[in-house]
């Protein structure tokens, strides 16, 4: 069974700070997702990666397959980045499909002006 752990659970930072959210998982995976859940509840897929690093605007996601660890970074954080960030891992034993996704409990991020 794949276990997905995120840290920290809660994070409050000042506008402009560099933010790092960590995700670790316990089994070999085919892909790892980072999702953003807005205060209104909607979920948006930010990244899906299986190796290396991806960047989109101020967001950067990295993954280390050997260490079974991924990080989500936010540069020059802004109050509108306040949300819950969820990582989800697709274990290889599931065949790699989204039906096998295991979700972390999420990181509640608040960026204060």
Partner 1 sequence: DAGVIQSPRHEVTEMGQEVTLRCKPISGHNSLFWYRQTMMRGLELLIYFNNNVPIDDSGMPEDRFSAKMPNASFSTLKIQPSEPRDSAVYFCASSSGDSRLAGGVDSPLHFGNGTRLTVT
Q: Provide CB contacts within 8 A for 95, sequence distance 6+.
A: none
Among 13, 17, 73, 96, binds partner 1 (CB under 8 A): 96
Closest CB to partner 1 among residues 77, 107: 107
CB 41 to partner 1: min, Å: 5
In sequence order, which residues have a C-beta less than 8 Å from that of residue 77 and are 6 or more positions away? 13, 15, 16, 17, 18, 19, 58, 111
List the one residue from 53, 92, 97, 110 that touches partner 1 (CB under 8 A): 97
- Which of 19, 63, 74, 86 touches partner 1 by CB under 8 A? 86
Output the furthest CA–CA distance in the chain (Å, rounded).
44
- The interface with partner 1 within residues 9-68 (CB under 8 A) comprises 30-31, 33, 35, 40-45, 48-50
- Between 54 and 58, CB nearer to partner 1: 54
75-98 burial, b at 16+ Cβ within 10 Å, e below that, comes to eebeeebbbbbbbbbbbeebeeee
Give residues in contact with partner 1 (CB under 8 A). 30-31, 33, 35, 40-45, 48-50, 86, 88, 90, 95-99, 101, 103-106
């Amino acid at each position: 069974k794949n276990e997905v752990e995120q840290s920290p659970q809660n994070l409050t930072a000042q506008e402009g700070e560099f933010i790092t959210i960590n995700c670790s998982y316990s089994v070999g995976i085919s892909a790892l997702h980072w999702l953003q859940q807005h205060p209104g509840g909607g979920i948006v897929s930010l990244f899906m990666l299986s190796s290396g690093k991806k960047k989109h605007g101020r967001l950067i996601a990295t993954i280390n397959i050997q260490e079974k660890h991924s990080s989500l970074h936010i540069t020059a954080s802004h109050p509108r980045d306040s949300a819950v960030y969820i990582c989800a891992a697709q274990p290889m034993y599931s065949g790699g499909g989204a039906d096998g996704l295991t979700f972390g409990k999420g990181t509640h991020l608040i960026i204060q002006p």
